[in-house]
Amino acid sequence: MTDPNAIENNPFKELGEIPKKKYTDGYTVDSTYITVRDGVKIAATICLPKGLSPDSKIPTVITQTRYWRAMELRIPFRWILDSMVSNAPNPEVVTSRGYALIYTDVRGTGASFGSRITPFSEEEVKDGYDIVDWIIAQPWSDGNVVSKGISYTGTTAELFARNNHQAIKAVIPGHGFWDPYTDVAFPGGCFDNAFIQLWSFLGKNLDLNNPKVFRQVMPEAWLFVKGVKPVRTDKDLQMLNKALEQHSSNQYVYDNTIEEDFRDDQLPDGSSFDDFSIFARKDEIERSNIPILAWCSWLDSGYCDAIIHRFMNLSNPQIAILGDWNHGAALPANQFFPNRTSVTPTPKDKVNAWINFFEKCIYSDGIQGKMIYYYTLVEEKWKKSEDWPPIGHSYQKWYFSENFTLTREKPENDVGDDKYNINFRATTGRNNRWWALLGFPITYENRIKVDEKLLCYTSQPFEEDTEITGQIVLCLHLTSTHEDGAIFAYFEDVDENGNITYITDGQFRLIHRKILSNDPPYKILIPYHSYKKEDSAPLIPGEITEVKFGLHVTSVLIKKGHRIKIAIAGADKDTFLRYPSEGKPIITISRNKKNPSYIDIPIIEKENK
Amino acid sequence: MEELLPSLKGILKEAIDIKTNALKLAISMTIKNNIDGVIAEPEEIIIMLKMYGGLREDIPMEIDIDNDGQTITLKFKNEEDFKKVEKIMETIWDNAVDLLIQVLEGDLSRIKDIPNIDD
C-alpha cells in the first residue's frame, strides 16, 4: 500500500472530493442479449439506481469482460445474493452516484454467442460500438457513456476510444497492456510460459462454463460459483447452451504461441501480436481525443512499462498513475514494507476518484494536457510530472568490476571476466510480477538465498540519498557456449545489515540482441530490439557479443548507506521457458577496458527536482 | 465479497426457514426471499450437503422442489439417514461461511476433505 499519509501530489486526493450520493436505495439488476452488426448476441447485465424516475436520464459506465460478466452462485448463496454482480466495479458505488452500470461478456465468452481466435480482435472491439448504440437508445440513457476496467477489461475500456463513438466521453484502463508482446507474452523475447498457459487454461474452462477445474486453482471461486449467469429470460438455459456450443471453436493464446518466438509470427487468423496491441491502434485512439485515466503499479508484470509508453506516445488528454500495489490493487506489493496488509486507496476511494474523473469529462471541461503521478518506493511519496522522463533525469553508469563489485570507474584492466554456469533451478517462485497477473500476491522473498544461485555485483554504500526513476539499462559483453540463451537481471537494494530487497528486473533472450537504428513502432527510452525473425541471430559460441536491454521501469530511493546490487541469472524456471531448451550453457561476462559491462541508472538529480 | 462475509451467516439463517419432521422423516427449507424462477435443481441440494455440510456418502432421499412455494423438502427412508442430515442442517450455514473465509484466507485444508462433486 502507499503510505496513507502521503497527501502531497496524491492523485486520489487531487481528483477531488468524494461525490455526494444521488441514489441511496440500492440498485436493480436485469440482463439481456444485445444483437450486434453481424447478428452475434452479446450478453449484458444492467444495473440501474433504484428509484430512478421514468423521465430521468443518466450516463452509463460500461465494462466488457472475458471472465464472466456475472456469476451464477451456488445455493444457498444464490438465494440471498442473487442480485450480486461479481465483477468490479462495485455496482452499489457506481449506481449510487447516478450512473447506469453495464457489464457484457465479450463475444465467444460467458453467456455471449460467437467465437474467438485472439483476444481483443477487431470484431470484439467493434462490438463496443454497437453496444454503445444500444445503450444510448435506452430510455434512461442521457447519451453519455464512459468505460473502465482492470486488466482485460482495462484494455477493452481503452479500445472503446479506438471506436470513435461520439457518446464515449472518457475511459479508465487500469493495469492494461500497451504492447502485448513485450508487456506480457514475451517480455524481452522470453516466453511467459506459466502465465500464458494458466491464463489460457482458465479462459478455456470459463468459455465452456466448466467451473470444476477451479477446485485446484481458484478454490474460493469454486466454493461459491456454479457457473456463468445466464440472461434473465433464458430460463431453460437453451440460449446459454447454444452460446457454449459456439465457444467450442475458440482458440487460445497458449496453443497458438508455445511454438512461436517472434513478434511477427502469424497467429491462425493471419494476425500477429501487434494487431491486438494498443499501439497499433494509436492513430484511431488519438483521433477520438477521448480523455484517458490510466493506472498501474511498478510491480505489475510489464504493464508498468505499458503505462509509461501510453503516456509518452498517446496525445490524448491523460492522467497516468503508478503506485506500489499488485495487479488490480487488491493487495499491497511494496517489497520494502512486507508487513503492510492493505492497499491505500481503498476500492471505494478508487471508484469515487474514477467517478470524479468521469464527472469532469461528462459535465465539465474534462482534463487538459497530460500528468503522470508516480509513487517513489522507500521515499514513500507521490510525485507528479507533465513529462516523462521527469525533469532532472540523467543516467549514471555503474561498471561490473573485480571481486563482484559495481563501481563508478570504467575498468582500466585489459583482462577481466567472470564465468557463470547457468543454473536452471534459479527461480523467483510463483509470487512474482508475472504470476501476479492472475491476481496473486507479489513477494520476492529470501533474496539472499536466491542470489546464491546467481552472478551478483554489489556497489559500495551510497554517500547520499539517491532517487532512481525510469528504466535501468543493462549492458553486458559476454560469450556463451551455446547459440541460444537468456539473461534475467534483478536490481536490488542492500541495507546496512545486508538485507536484500528486490526493486525491479528485466529479462532478455539473447537471439534478439541486435539493436536497430531505425524508428521503433513507438517511442521508447531503452535500446530498440525488434524481436522480429529477420533481426534475430544465434550466438556464435565463444565469440564476444554486446547485449543491451532495459529493465522494467521503477521509482525508488536508495538511502545513504545502502548499496545497489545487480544479480544475473540465465533462467526463471517457474515462469519462463528455458533457453536453450537443452544443454548446460556457461556464459562469460567481460568486465575489462575493451569490453566493459555495466548498468546505466536513471537518476533524478536533486538540484533539478 | 470480503465485506459481506461477516454478515452472511445471519443473512442465511434469516432468509431460510428450516423445519424438521421426525415422524415423517422429512426436512424442509423455505426460502423467504423472492426467487425468480427455479429455486434449485435436485443435484444442487446434494452438492450443497457435500460441499458445505461435510456429507461423505450417497444417502437415498427424495427431493421435492416447490418453486411456487419456494420450499425444498427432503424425505428419507430411514431414521438414521434423517438424523445424519438433520445434524448437518443444524450448522450448515455457519460451516459454509467459515469454509469460505478459511479458503479466502489461504487455508485450503478443508477443501481436500470435500468429496468429488460432479458439477
Give A-chain residues touching B93 at CB under 8 angstroms: 76
- Confidence band of A293 (pLDDT split at 50, 70, 90): very high
- pLDDT recorded at residue A214: 82
CB A396 within 8 A of CB A603: yes
DSSP H helices, A340-494, are 347-363, 447-451
Write the pLDDT tens digit of every residue in A193-246. 999 999 999 999 999 999 888 887 788 888 888 999 999 999 889 999 999 999
Report in angstroms the alpha-carbon separations of A284 from A92, A212, A238, A310. Answer: 33, 41, 39, 14
Strand partners for A27: A49
CA dist A110 and A40 (Å) reads 13
Model confidence pLDDT, tens digit, residues A197-212 = 999 999 999 999 998 8
Confidence class for position A117, pLDDT limits 50, 70, 90: very high
Question: Can you give the pLDDT at residue A109?
Answer: 98
Indicate whether this model's pTM tops 0.80: yes
Q: pLDDT band at A100, cuts 50/70/90?
A: very high
CB contact under 8 A, B48 and A74: yes
A75: number of CA atoms within 13 Å, CB side?
22
| Pick from A451, A501, A446, A485: nearest CA to A589 | A485
- Could you give the CA distance from residue A353 to residue A383 in angstroms, rounded to a whole number? 18
- Output the nine-digit C-alpha cell for B58: 450417497
CA distances from B93 to A152, A239, A400, B15, B49 (A): 34, 33, 62, 11, 10
Among B2, B67, B103, B107, most A C-beta atoms within 10 A, so best to mutate, is: B103
- Residue B118: list chain A partners with CB under 8 A: 212
Give the three cell numbers for residue A379.
521515499
Q: Is A449 on the interface with B (CB under 8 A)?
A: no
Alpha-carbon distance B80 to nearest alpha carbon in chain A (angstroms):
25
